[in-house]
């Protein structure tokens, strides 16, 4: 199989996979502030079984982190009332790692119940 496949998930999120090797090359992910953003960059391959390095743009600045697929409530198995989505988590130690946390602080807790870094409130 050659070409590109769009792997669709809930909440208008998806990952783009290029074949025949299955490398990632784009997508949209739910960020901790509740916004779904296009991935600015994504690694071709995963760095662990569960996460892929990626970045998004927040207020015109690049925020580095990783994407993973989990349910809206943070579990690994999707159900009808808890669909799987692509989530982006910022690296807090990055130059702009605070931007998502700042967005959450401006509006309160993110839609996934985190502070912007994946840490529960």
Domain boundaries, the chain: 3-107
- The whole model's pTM is what? 0.84
Whether residue 54 is predicted with pLDDT greater than 70 in this model: the reply is: yes
Confidence bin at 22 (pLDDT 50/70/90)? confident
Question: Do 87 and 70 contact (CB within 8 A), yes or no?
Answer: yes
C-alpha dihedral, 32 to 36 to 41 to 45, nearest 10°: 80
Give phi and psi for 86, each to the nearest 5: -85, 125
Distance CA 89, CA 29 (A): 9
The per-residue pLDDT for range 74-113, each reduced to its tens digit, is: 999 999 999 999 999 999 999 898 998 888 888 765 555 5
Distance CA 6, CA 83 (A): 17
- Judged by DSSP in three states, 109 sits in coil
End-to-end CA distance of the chain: 44
pLDDT value at position 50? 86
Question: Do 120 and 114 contact (CB within 8 A), yes or no?
Answer: yes
């Amino acid at each position: 199989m050659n070409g590109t496949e769009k792997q669709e998930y809930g909440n208008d999120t998806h990952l783009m996979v290029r074949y025949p090797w299955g490398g990632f090359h784009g997508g949209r992910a739910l960020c901790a502030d509740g916004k779904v953003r296009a991935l600015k960059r994504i690694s071709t391959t995963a760095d662990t079984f569960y996460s892929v390095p990626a970045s998004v743009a927040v207020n015109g600045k690049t925020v580095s982190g990783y994407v993973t697929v989990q349910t809206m409530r943070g579990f690994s198995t999707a159900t009808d009332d808890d669909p799987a989505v692509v989530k982006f988590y910022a690296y807090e130690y990055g130059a702009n790692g605070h931007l998502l946390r700042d967005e959450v602080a401006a509006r309160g807790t993110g839609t996934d119940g985190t502070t912007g870094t994946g840490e529960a409130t």
